[in-house]
Each structure stands twice: as C-alpha cells, then as structure tokens.
Structure 1
C-alpha cells in the first residue's frame, strides 16, 4: 500500500498535473488528495468517456509538456470505448489511465462486476492499451510512471495502470466543493432571434470569418460538419474529428482550460450533442471565458442518410442556461453567430444553437489530411504560444 501523495508527487515531477474522471471507492484517497491540492487541476466528468476526451484536449494543447490522467472504475471502460478507440488512438493523443479492478478474479465483489472484472485485461488489450498493475510499494512508483511516459511519448497513445483494492492508504477529504467551477453563478437568460434558416455552408463561412487562425482553434464534430468546414477552407487552426461522436465538447473544454491563451470553438451537431448531453453540465460548471460552443442543428443525422433526430423537441439553449453557461443564444438568424463571438464581458463558456437547413454540397470531399497529420499541424501551429 502506498500513500496518495507518493504517487501524485512522482507524477507531478513527470508533468502530470491534469486529472479528470468519475470516482470509484478504490480511487477515493487518490481523488481526495488531488482535490485538495490547488496547484493540480481536477475536473469531475459526467462520464468516463468525457474524461478521456477532456484529457485528450489537454494533450492536444500541451504535447509532452503537459500530461493528464483519466481515472475510472473498470465498469466505466464501456463508456470510454469510443474515445479510446476513435479519438486518442486515431489522433495519437496520449494519456495515463488509472482503471480500478472491481470484480478481480478471486476477490469478492458486487454482482455487477462479475463479468467486467475478469475481462478488464482483455478489454484493454483489445483496444491496444498496454497495462500493468498500479504500484503498491513506494519504490515501484517511479519505474511504473517511467514505463508509462516512455510508451506514451514513443507512440502517442494511452497507457493504463490497473488499481487493485487497497492499493492506496486512506486520505481524508477535508475540502467541500470543487475547484475551478463557477460557484453561485446566475443562469444566463436565453436570448432568442428569429430569421430565415441558412445552410450549413453559409454558417461555416461565417464561423471562418469569426475565428482568426492566429488566436482561435476550431474543433469540428464528426460527420458533415468537419468535412464541409475542410472543403470550404482547410486552415492550420482547425481539427476535424472522425468517430468519437459527441466528444468534441469535452475535448474543447480540456484544450480551453489548459490553454487560456487560445480561444477555443467547439463546433457541434445536434446528433452529437444529444449523444453526450451530460457534458453540458460539465461545460457550464467549468467552462472558461475562452470556450465557445456552437451547435448547428439541422434536425437530422445527415451524413448517414438524413434520419431525423429528436433535436426539434429539445431546447438546447435553455439546457445550456440551466447548466451554468454564461451566455445562451438560440435562433434561426445567422446573426446569432456574430452575437456569440462579439458578446462582451462574458465570464464563462458561451453557447448558441443555430437552426439550419438540411442539405449538403454534392461530392463533398473527405479530408485528405490524416488525423495524425491534422493533429500535428495544429500542435505546431499553437505550440509557440
């Protein structure tokens, strides 16, 4: 058994200062220690996949200089499969995973862990994530972290430490609340604007005009959103998600928090937003003033044939307001985009839903730049800041 401080301080020496996750009883002393150290950054995620995507955003902004850890119970691997297989693996965005081993064979546990316990190692191996047991002796910590960072630096992919019960000595939680959240912030009043719906093409042209490459990063959701942005103007400050549906917003949050020198735009779609609506609460609580969330809502999964979503029955702007966003706009008028970017004295994340028409240009190309190349290009573009 080790002390939480022994691991956290050794990790800090190696650049790990960002943490995100969902608690597990095995992780309690570890999380309690991190929460009470104001020099560390901890984000309480709505689910494990959001935590992985958020730490991917930290990695995007910091490279080897800034490292992050995603923490979860092994049951949460199910929630994290998509970002682990189509975001971190595809774009080569490394992070350290601390996964608890509930239901470990030979160790009595609750019935819900009876299947996940035995298959946890195979799940990690199937996702091509190397793993080892979380250190339980002080002299094991440094070598374990060195193996992890060496793998992460050489491959750009995650490495996992699997934590057994009783690995970390108890550590009392003396602090209430969470650092970094917008405590007692009043909900933003929703502002609505009527007009004539425009096409995604028109909306993206307005987005490009509002996001200068020297100071803004644009992360575009998977599907036609990213593909059409690429077709209009492929700029060095843009990244186009492939797969990992719904992960653009937690990823943008991680980048915005870790890089306050940049303005970060999460360019979202209605289908993707519906998939991970829990992240609205996380963005509302933690979202900094350099984070912008624009939802282009055409009411359809257009890239898969135009099947309708339920978005027309959802008041996204009211949800954003209730979750703590500092600005919440809604409308059909393309001027919503200008208001979103031009609003002054906004203390927190800002949100706008723009209702757009369906329809996509014929022969819309797929990006010719690979995910690894577009990630490397963006990191080079923002690296000197």
Structure 2
C-alpha cells in the first residue's frame, strides 16, 4: 500500500504547493495528511474546487491539485469542459479521483454506476488519466508522465485511485468533537420520538441516514416514513421540497448536514422563494465531513440562521443540548415554514454502526406507498 507521505512528498518535488478538494473515504488518509501539513483547503463542492484551482494557476502559474470522490465527478464536468479544457482556457490541474464502485469490487448501490462508467467518462471528456499504483517506483513514473503531459498540453490530468491504495493515516488536525457535548445520534433519537405518525422525513447521506435507520429499528417505528438519501450529497433538501410542494397537508422534515448544506447552499434560496408552510429544515452541524475522514467544513464559521432568513425562511432556531432541543421543538414544529433548526453536535459515531438493510429501491417503494396512501 502507498504511504500518504510518499505521494505528498513526490507532489512537492513536482512543485505542487496548493491542494484542495472534497473529502473522500478512499482518499481520506492522503487528504488528512495534506491537511495536517497546512496544505489543504476543503471546498464547498467539486466544481468549486476546480474553479479555485484555476484561479490559483492564473495567479501563480503553478499546477495545483484537487481531489474528490467519483460520485462527485459530475460536479466538475461543467468547469472541466468550459473552463480548464485546452480548447477554452487551457489550465493544467492534477485531479485525484477516488474510484468508488470500481468494477470487480464490492460497494454500495449508489457507487455502482459511477464506478462502472468512470473510465468511459474520462475518455469521453478527452481527459488523460492513469490508475494510481501502490508501488512507489511505479508512482514516480506515473507522476513524471502526468506532469509532463500537463505542462505539454496545459490541461488537466487525472489519477484514478482504486480502493485500498493508501496506508492508514489518522487525522491529527484540530478535533471539534469536544466543542459540543451533544452527539448526533442522541439528537436524532430525540427527534424521531417527537415526529408524528404522518410526518415525512428526508435524511441526508452518510452516517445521519444510517443512524436514523437503526434508531427506527430500536424503537420499532418502521422505515416507511423516511427517505434515506444514500447518495446525491447536498440534494436532500430539494428532494424534501419537491415532496412538501405536493403533500401540503403533511409536515415534511429534512434532516441535513453542514457539509451537504454548504455543498449546494443555493437550495436555501429556492426553498425560501417557494415558501412551503409545511417545510421543517433540521441542520445537524458537527463542523466536519465525518463520514469520509473527519476533515473540517466551514460549518462552525457560517451563520446558517442568518443565511436562511436572508433566503426567506420564516424563523430559525439553534440549540446545542437535549434540554434546549426539548424546549423549542414544539415552537419549531408549530411555526409556519419554511423554518430552520440548527443542532450543534460533536463528531463521532458508534463503532458498530451498521448500514440500512433495505435496498434503495425497497426504501423508495415503501416510502412511496406511505405517501400515496395519505
């Protein structure tokens, strides 16, 4: 396996001193190592990362590096084809892509299609690429070819990273789990015990949906009221909006995350503009991309309440303990939407946290049956 430090040092030898991206589980050891060396910036989304990298190149003349998971590759197609492409502005950027769903490997359903089509996507876009080796000597040759190609063509180059390429590395950066005493799972448990039988729930990707599923199991509540957004990071609130506009007599709760909300923050403007009275937006903010390595988001520096109000939300609430959550929940529930409840939590999850035992299509079928019967 490849040591994160080795790749980092090799990149430095090629003059790379600016790295950024969106954390990925396959790249978390390298991303964490880079972040701990102060040479990393966590972008809002993948397209934004490429745009920042382009700006850096314009101002420095150097080649930057961005990293991402292939499930977010769609977010960079627009700037890849209309900004950095050699037929437009011709900007060299090294792009490291975590290859979730690589053919021949086991992965979750939402990663199968991105993994199966990844190489075809790169070929269709005319992007030169190589599959990163875990052998150090081979990596040196691959990087030499990548930088030679980028300098010669003045355009992006992709390193496709299969599962289990990197050795483990534990993130040493400023840990935020001590900032707040409340755990996400504790907050979720309090919430589901307050939701009504007819309330609709849409939860964001990552550990939030996994914990929601297990908590429903724990309390014997069934899963028919929940849409678990296992992929499509940042889009849970828009799924919930589409439902809320159709099911106006039912309360719709979107359980969001800080990284997901930042990724597509424009969603708040559309929710505010539509003014769904039954829309209850719950943001669980732990200031981290916890599911993919724990690197920090901008969540603890952003005033989500002010942003929501500026977008047209009727009311906002913010709590950081179960007592406060208990006291304000009825006010939150009875307020005319759209309303936002921000719950500040620490990072961390149970070591034995499982994954939903229902497939996405089973979840969808049960959820639609519940909605269409109401």
Higher relative contact order (CA 8 A, sep 6+): 1
